[in-house]
Amino acid sequence: MLFIFLSCFTDPIFIKHGQNRVLYLSFIIPEIQFLPVTNFFKSLCETIAKSDKNIRFAAIVDHHGTIMAYSERKGIKPLLNEEQTAQYALAAVTRQYTRIRWQSILGKIDYTCSSYEKLLRITIPITDSRNHLCFVIIFTLDVTTKNFHQIIMNKVKPIVKEKEKELLNRA
């Protein structure tokens, strides 16, 4: 089933609502704005991105690897283009599936971090009570960030934990 809504965005946006794929078409009609799902995901990404000055980018990705929303630090020059970011999101979800199978033995994953020459990339899996992957939070930090563990555990994880129930309800 495909739902079509009109929004004031300039580009079409596809999002997932339950089992349905939703298309928001780009028409400028301010009176019509059915954006609660988009606003939730976008707001979560913006909250994460603004939680620390070292965060460059934050995104939420569904269990299929589709980017639901993202936010970037103002003035930042992205290192990946849109297509590369989408490919990375899919790869990140695939890696999370591999990691999750070990949670029953090793314990729940807090986060994973990859240190690249130009940035730190962190993923936080969101799993349901049956240990099924629902979403992955992806965010990046400046490569010069020294206290990344504290940023993740004391700033980002509490935001994610606060919204986890609502995220799972939207899976």
Q: What per-residue confidence (pLDDT) applies to 38?
A: 67
For the chain, domains (ranges, CATH) are: 1-34 (no CATH), 38-170 (3.30.450.30)
Task: Judge whether 26 and 9 are in contact, CB under 8 Å.
Answer: yes
User: Which strands form 112-115's sheet, in the order they lie side by side?
Assistant: 67-72, 55-62, 133-142, 119-127, 112-115
- How crowded is residue 53: how many other Cβ atoms within 10 Å of its Cβ? 10
Q: What per-residue confidence (pLDDT) applies to 101?
A: 87
* CA separation for the pair 115, 92 (Å, rounded): 14
Q: What per-residue confidence (pLDDT) applies to 9?
A: 42
Task: Judge whether 24 and 13 are in contact, CB under 8 Å.
Answer: yes
- How crowded is residue 43: how many other Cβ atoms within 10 Å of its Cβ? 13
- How crowded is residue 95: how many other Cβ atoms within 10 Å of its Cβ? 15
In tens digits, what is the pLDDT along the chain, a chain of 171 residues? Answer: 344 444 444 444 444 445 544 444 444 334 333 344 568 999 999 999 999 999 999 999 999 999 999 999 999 999 999 999 999 999 999 999 999 888 889 999 999 999 999 999 999 999 998 889 999 999 999 999 999 999 999 999 999 999 999 999 988
Q: What per-residue confidence (pLDDT) applies to 12?
A: 46
Task: Judge whether 89 and 66 are in contact, CB under 8 Å.
Answer: yes
| Three-state helix/strand/coil letters over the chain | CEEEEEECCCCCEEEEECCEEEEEEECCCCCCCCCHHHHHHHHHHHHHHHCCCCEEEEEEEECCCCEEEEEECCCCCCCCCHHHHHHHHHHHHHHHHHHHCCHHHHCCCCCEEEECCCEEEEEEEEECCCCCEEEEEEEEEECCCCCHHHHHHHHHHHHHHHHHHHHHHHC
